[in-house]
Chain A
Amino acid sequence: MKTHLLTAVASLALLAGMASADEVRVYNWSDYIDEDLLAKFEDETGLKLIYDVFDSNEVLETKMLAGGSGYDVVVPSGTFLQRQISAGAFQKLDPAQLPNAGNLWDVIQQRTDQYDPGGAYSINYMWGTTGIGYNVGKVTAALGEDAPLDSWELVFDPANMEKLAECGVYFLDAPAEMIPAALNYIGEDPDSQDPEVIAKAEAVFTAIRPYIRKFHSSEYITALANGDICVAVGWSGDVFQAQFSASEAENGHEIDYSIPKQGAQMWFDQMAIPADAPNPEGAHKFINFILDAQNSAAATNYVWYASGNKAAQEFIDQEILDYPAVYPDEETLQNLFTTRPYPAKVQRVVTRLWTKIKSGT
C-alpha cells in the first residue's frame, strides 16, 4: 500500500541531501523493477544508486515543472512526457553514451514516436495496457459462468456492477485513463479532446458510481490479492503482481487480467533525464544498463510488464512472451489505442469531471 504521500515524503528527505558526482538518483514507478538489478548496477559501475518511487504521473510532473528535483532519471508515461518536453523539462539524450540503444523494439518505437519523435529525449522502459483485473472465483460466483470477463461491460454495465458491488470494485484514480476507457465503451473516440465528447463519459460513471468502492491507483494490488475486492480496473503488470502474491500466499484467490475486446489503452513509460539533472553522465549509464538485453529481461521477468527491448525477448521467460495479456497478439494489438496529452483548458474540464464523478460535487 503505497501512496504518493509516501513518495512525497521520501523525496523531501532526498532534497535535503546534496547530490554528488558518484551518485545516480532514479525516480521510477512503485513496484516496477527487480531490486537485484539495483545492486548489480552499483557493482558494475561503482556508482551509488538512490532509487525512489512514485505512483502517479501527476506527482512526477509537478516535480519536473517545479524544477530542481535532484533526480537524474525519471520515468513519465508518454502523454506526460510529451508535455514535459515542451515545457523544457528534459535534456536530449546523447546516443554516444547509449551503445545498447540498438536493442530497442521498432514496433514500440513507432508508437512512442508520437510523444517523442525519434526518441530524442526518452527511451522506453516498459509498456502495458489499462484493463480489468478480476478474482475468477468471486466474479463467477456473482455473475455466473458467462460473466463478460473480456468486455468493458463487466465494469461499465450497471447491471453487472450492481452484483459486483458486494464483493468490491476499485477503479484507477487516473482520469486520463478512465475517461478514454469509458468513451471507448460507448463508441466515442477515446482520444477525443472535445469537452462535449468528454462530457459524455459522465453518464457512464454516474450510472455505476454507487457500486465503486474506491478510486485508487495502487491499493488495488493488495486488495485483489487478499480477496478484499473482486474487480479492479488497473494496469496489466500490477494485476499480475496481485496474481503472484495471491498464489504465493496460497489463499485460494485466483486473479486474472483481461484486455477488453472493445479495446484498451496502451501506455509507455519512458526513461528521461531532467534538464537540471546533477549527474547526466551517470543517468546515461543507468539507462544504458537497463537497455542491456539481460537486465531488461530480468526486470520484465520480475514485474511482468512487456519490455520495449527487442533483444531482451531472448531472455524473457517463454511463459510471459506467450501470455497475450502481457504481449498481446496481432489482433489485440490492433484494438489498442493511445491517447495524446490534454491541453490545459481541456485538462481542467477532465479533472473537474473526475472530481464530480468521484465526490458527486
Chain B
Amino acid sequence: MRRFTLIAVPYLWLLVLFLVPFAIVFKISLSDTALAIPPYAPTLDLSSGWAGLRSFFAELDLENFWFLTTDDLYWKAYLSSLQIAALSTVFTLLVGYPIAYAMAQAEDAWRPTLMMLVILPFWTSFLIRVYSWIGILSNEGFLNQFLIWSGLISEPLIILNTNTAVYIGIVYTYLPFMILPIYAALEKLDSSLLEAAEDLGCSRLTAFWLVTIPLSKQGIIAGCFLVFIPALGEFVIPSLLGGSQTLMIGKVLFEEFFSNRDWPVASAVAVILLLILIIPIVLFQRNEQKQREAEGQ
C-alpha cells in the first residue's frame, strides 16, 4: 500500500499539472473561434447529457492544424526558436561548465558561499533582471558608455533589440539551471580516478576529456534540458530584448492569442510546440535507458 502511494504521487502530479491542462489546450485547438465569452465554440455543456456530449465531439476537427501548414510563418518561427534555443544552450554550457568546475574544485569552506552566489539572482524578480539588461545594452547604456569611455569603440554598438541581446538574456537567465546540475555531478567525482588516469599516462587535459566530462554527462544532459526546454518557448526575453525581426514561437503564440483572438489556432501552435519538445526527449530517454541496460549486462 505504501509503495502504491509513493508511485501515485508523481503520477498524480503528472495528471493534474500536465495531462489535464494539455487535454484542455488540445480540446480548444480542435474548436472554432466565436465572438463570445470564452471566444471559441463549442464549449462543453454537461447539462444537456449524452446528446450534448455527442454534438460537442462532432463539432471538433483538425482544421486549425491544417491551417498551420498553409502559412510559412509557423514553421519558420518553430525553426528559428529551435535555433535560438539550441545555440543559447550551447553558450550556456560553455559558460556554465567552467563555473561549475571551479566551484567543484574550490575548497569545502568556500562551496556554500559560491553556491549562494549562483542562487542569489533568483532573489530579484526575473522581469526586473531582464529589464535591467535594457539599461546595460541600450545605445546609451552602461556597456556602450564604458566601451566609448575606454576608447575601444567610437560609435555605440547596437545590441539591444537584436538577436544578440536575446542570446545574452537567455544565457544570463538560465545559467544557474546549467551550473547547478553540473556542479552536483562534478562534486561527487572521485579525484582518485583522475590520479589513476594521470598515473596511466594521461595528460591533465586528456584526463579531463576522458574522465571528468563522461562522469559529468548526466549533469550536462540535465542542465541542457533545463535550459533548452524553457528557452524554446521563451516569450519575455525576446519581447523585451529582441527586435521586431526576432521570430520566436512564443511571440507568434502571443499574436494569435491577443491580436487575432484566435484561441483555437494559438492552442494548435502550443500543441505542436509540445510535440516538438516531447517526442525527441522521450526518444532520447529511451535510448539512454537502452544504453544503460546494455552496459549493465
Contacts and interface: CB of A to CB of B under 8 A. Distances in A.
A340 interface: no
Contacts of B38: 65-67
Interface-centre pick from A9, A65, A360 (highest chain B CB count, 10 A): A65
Interface in B8-38: 33, 35-38
B239 A3 contact: yes
A278 to B, nearest CB: 16
Chain B interface size band reads: 20 to 34
B266 to A, nearest CB: 10
Interface in A312-361: 344, 347-348, 351-352, 354-356, 358-361
A5 interface: yes
Contacts of B247: 359, 361
B168 to A, nearest CB: 18
Chief secondary structure at chain A's binding surface: helix
Contacts, number: 85
Interface in A49-63: 56, 58-59, 61-62
A62 B37 contact: no
Interface in A1-39: 1, 3-6, 9
Interface string A240-276: 0000000000000000000000000000000000010
A5 B35 contact: no
A360 B236 CA distance: 21
Given A65-B37, A226-B140, A228-B138, A9 B261 contact: no
Interface stretch (B69-77, B116-124, B200-208): B69-77
A86 B255 CA distance: 22
Given A58-B259, A215-B244, A352 B37 contact: no
A4 B127 CA distance: 12
B245 A360 contact: yes
A48 interface: no
A66 B140 CA distance: 40
8 contacts: A5-B236, A9-B127, A59-B258, A83-B35, A214-B243, A228-B139, A359-B245, A361-B247
Please give me the 9 A-B residue pairs with the lowest Cβ-Cβ distance, nearest first. Answer: A358-B244, A58-B258, A65-B39, A67-B37, A351-B259, A87-B35, A351-B260, A215-B244, A359-B247
Interface of B: 33, 35-39, 71-73, 76-77, 127, 131, 134, 138-140, 161, 236, 239-240, 243-247, 252, 255, 257-262
